[in-house]
């Protein structure tokens, strides 16, 4: 029972999204109504000049960030990476981040809507007014001593056999695998966790006993923990990418 632990989104960024941060459990104790949020991004597709912002540059200090967050110079404080399909990013709570223009991402996150906007890059609405920022709250959340890269490099090449690549293996909130399937994949929930399957580039069929269900491209399939054994059927002569999430 209770609330489902995850939210799954597809983000199609027609423009650069705001610079923001989410709180961890400790920050939530100081911020009434806040809920912690760790998330991950999987790059489905990206324009050639698309970028991902995830984390602070090693040269950035708290003082330099506060001095520049409302100016274009803040970009010197940020870790900026070129978007490459198949790459992923673990955005732990307390990590400053933004989705760049031209990205199509799968986002898997804790079920929380708490977001603190630091900068909206100077944009204003049709009335000439900027969106509300949450700088004081954000400063309570940002992990200024954390400089580890959030990027997880993706799979290179294709194969004529099934492959499984762990993307997120040790997070206490979710575990994520990149399945590259050339033929039938057999799996089992074992009563431990639901399996959440997201199709990336081709449709699949979920088969149990004599029943099969087709899942189109870019769709999610939630398989309950009590489901037990099942098969994923894929089209022949082509590699199919499926992102599998469990808790």
CATH number for the domain harbouring residue 219: 2.60.120.10
d(CA 18, CA 123): 10
Contact assessment for residue 37 and residue 22, using Cβ atoms and an 8 Å cutoff: yes
Please choose, from the candidates 103, 139, 99, the residue with its C-alpha nearest in 3D space to the C-alpha of residue 120: 99
What number is the average pLDDT over the span 194-221?
97
CA end-to-end span of the chain, whole Å?
Answer: 15
Give pLDDT tens digits for 131-149: 999 999 999 999 999 889 9
Q: Is 120 inside a domain boundary?
A: yes
My answer on whether 206 and 84 are in the same domain is no
Determine the pLDDT at residue 88: 98
Residue 91 and residue 168 in one domain: no
Pair (145, 41) in one structural domain: yes
Does residue 158 sit within a domain?
no
pLDDT band, residue 156 (cuts 50/70/90): confident
State the Cα–Cα distance between residues 94 and 174, nearest whole angstrom. Answer: 17
The answer to whether residues 60 and 100 belong to one domain is yes
Would you state the pLDDT for residue 193? 97
CA dihedral 67, 71, 76, 80 (to 10 degrees): 130
The rounded percent of the chain whose pLDDT value lies above 90 is 95
In terms of domains, do 66 and 145 share one?
Answer: yes
Mean pLDDT score across all residues of the chain: 96
What's the average model confidence in pLDDT over 174-178? 98
Last residue of a domain, one of 152, 182, 208: 152
- Decide which of 101, 120, 152 is a domain's last residue: 152
- Same-domain check for residues 185 and 146: no
Q: What is the pLDDT of residue 126?
A: 87
Give the residue from 47, 150, 58 showing the smallest Cα distance to 103: 47
Q: Report, as residue numbers or ranges, the catalytic residues.
A: 117
Q: What's the pTM? A: 0.95
Residue 32 pLDDT exceeds 70: yes
Tell me, yes or no, whether 23 and 126 share the same domain: yes
Q: Residue 123 and residue 133: Cα distance in Å, rounded?
A: 12
Task: Count up the domains in the chain and report the number.
Answer: 2
Q: What is the mean pLDDT of residues 155-160?
A: 91
What is the extent of the structural domain holding 84? 6-152
Residue 71 has pLDDT above 90, yes or no: yes
pLDDT of residue 1: 63
226 and 195 both lie in a single domain = yes
The answer to whether the CB of 55 falls within 8 A of the CB of 97 is yes
> Are 210 and 139 in a shared domain?
no
Residue 1 lies in a domain: no
Q: Tens of pLDDT along 223-241?
A: 999 999 999 999 998 999 9
| Same-domain check for residues 107 and 184 | no
Assigned domain for 157 exists: no
Q: What local confidence, expressed as pLDDT, does residue 109 receive?
A: 98
Residue where one domain finishes, among candidates 133, 152, 171: 152
Q: Which two tokens stand for residue 32?
A: 């009434």
Mean pLDDT in residue range 13-20 = 97
167 and 135 housed in the same domain: no
- Based on the fold, state whether residues 30 and 57 are members of the same structural domain: yes
> In this predicted structure, what is the pLDDT of residue 2?
83
- 110-129 tens-digit pLDDT: 999 999 999 999 998 889 99
């Amino acid at each position: 029972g209770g609330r489902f632990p995850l939210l799954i989104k597809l983000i199609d960024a027609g423009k650069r999204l705001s610079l923001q941060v989410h709180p961890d459990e400790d920050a939530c104790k100081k911020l009434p109504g806040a809920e912690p949020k760790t998330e991950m991004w999987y790059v489905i597709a990206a324009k050639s000049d698309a970028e991902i912002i995830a984390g602070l540059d090693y040269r950035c200090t708290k003082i330099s960030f506060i001095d520049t967050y409302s100016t274009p110079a803040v970009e010197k404080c940020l870790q900026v990476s070129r978007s490459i399909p198949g790459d992923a990013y673990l955005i732990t709570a307390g990590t400053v981040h933004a989705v760049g223009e031209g990205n199509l991402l799968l986002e898997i996150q804790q079920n929380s809507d708490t977001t603190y906007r630091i900068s909206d890059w100077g944009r204003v609405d049709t009335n000439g007014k900027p969106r509300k920022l949450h700088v004081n709250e954000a400063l309570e959340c940002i992990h200024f001593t954390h400089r580890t890269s959030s990027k997880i490099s993706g799979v290179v090449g294709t194969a004529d056999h099934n492959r499984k690549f762990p993307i997120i293996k040790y997070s206490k909130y979710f575990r994520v695998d990149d399945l590259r399937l050339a033929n039938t994949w057999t799996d089992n929930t074992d009563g431990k966790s639901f399996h959440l399957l997201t199709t990336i580039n081709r449709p699949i069929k979920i088969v149990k006993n004599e029943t099969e269900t087709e899942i189109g491209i870019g769709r999610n399939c939630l398989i309950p923990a009590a489901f037990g054994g099942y098969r994923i059927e894929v089209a022949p002569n082509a590699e199919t990418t499926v992102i599998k999430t469990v808790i």
